[in-house]
Amino acid sequence: MGFQVRCEICGRPIQGSPHRILVDTATLLVCSRCARYGVPVSQRPKPKLTVPTAPLPRKADRDKLPEIVPDYDSKIRKAREEMGLTQEVLAKYVGEKVSVIKRIEMGKLKPTIELAKKLEKVLKVTLLSDVASDVGVSVKERKVEVLLGDVVVIKDKGRKEEA
């Protein structure tokens, strides 16, 4: 008895020739019953090529990229309230969703440089600081190393956590 190919969705042996389909971003070999769950690879649309609108910054320019100030959330909220704007109106002015503005004001989402520039223009506040001008500290010295232990909390069933 030879090697038998199995469907990568249902696991049944494939009778006849397998179908190669695209499900989300994965290419799978499937049986004829499961072929309906994806797009045949031969029929998938070709990706559109996009050309970047702006050239990538040179290494010297990357060291001078602006950085979002630490208290961006309170500055945005305070300026918006002083101008008498709602979060919905501010979102329309900068071309963003209301949920994004809410998350930024709560400090749960850091705005992109482009969005920070739009917010600065509308609210007339300073949200970007020049990294090179920060007390003579270079960008290389400001890098923070994040380790797995900084992100993950390991719970051991046998031990109690120390407070």
Residues 32 and 82 in one domain: no
Q: What pLDDT does 104 receive?
A: 94
Closest to 138 (Cα-Cα) out of 25, 76, 29, 62: 62
Strands laid side by side in the 26-30 sheet: 26-30, 19-23, 39-40
Q: What pLDDT does 65 receive?
A: 74
- Residue 110 within a domain: yes
- Residue 53 within a domain: no
Is 0.95 surpassed by the pTM of this model? no
In the chain, how many domains are there?
2
Query: Range of 1's domain?
Result: 1-43
Residues 36 and 69 in one domain: no
- Residue 117 within a domain: yes
- Residue 79 within a domain: yes
Q: What is the CATH number of the domain that holds 117?
A: 1.10.260.40
List the pLDDT tens digit at each of the 163 positions of the chain.
567 888 998 888 988 888 899 888 888 889 989 988 888 887 555 666 666 666 666 665 555 678 999 999 999 999 999 999 999 999 999 999 999 999 999 999 999 999 999 999 999 999 998 765 444 444 445 556 666 666 666 666 655 555 4
Residues 30 and 83 in one domain: no
Residues 73 and 110 in one domain: yes
- Residue 99 within a domain: yes
How far, in Å, are 5, 6, 68, 76 from residue 44 at the CA level? 23, 23, 41, 44
Residues 118 and 70 in one domain: yes
